[in-house]
Amino acid sequence: MFRAILMREKSGEQGTFGRLTVKNGKGAELSLQTIELPWKDNRRNVSCIPAGVYDCSRTHSGKFGVVYEVMHVPGRSGILIHAGNVAGDTAKGFRTDVEGCILVGMSRGELYGQKAVLESRHALKALHEFTQGELMELTVEWEDGDD
């Protein structure tokens, strides 16, 4: 099983940025940028998920293709790791490509006048090539220890 840590930074109206580090147990690791919705108390469709430890399995989504599903999120379902660029608070007029999922990217930048992760499809492909479809244990933490 692969081990992954998503270390989140502060959450704001343009999303919650972080860094996903995946390790294979043999010393190799992959590091990707992430963006999620702002933290809004784990409310469906408008919030990122709570900090915690989750199992992730590869699955096929009709909308996003081959993705990882984050399992057993309290009060939530259908949480995926997939391609996309922005995760802003739509109530504040920002765009979003998610309803609670985790987006991965190779770098950070700006799209549509807001903060974003870039080269997302490339990042998702790199994740799948690195893990070879095996199960992944995902630990989600906040840099400052809060959520």
pLDDT per residue over 121-140, tens digit each?
999 999 999 999 999 999 99
- How many distinct structural domains can be found in the chain? 1
- Write out the residue range of the structural domain in which residue 89 sits: 2-142
pTM, full prediction: 0.96
19 belongs to a structural domain = yes
128 belongs to a structural domain = yes
Structure tokens at 13: 């109206």
77 belongs to a structural domain = yes
Report the pLDDT averaged over residues 92-115.
97
Cα–Cα distance measured from residue 73 to residue 51, given in angstroms and rounded to the nearest whole number: 10
**Is 77 exposed, middle or buried, given 0-12, 13-18 or 19+ CB atoms closer than 10 A?**
exposed
- By C-alpha distance, which of 64, 53, 144, 72 is closest to 104? 64
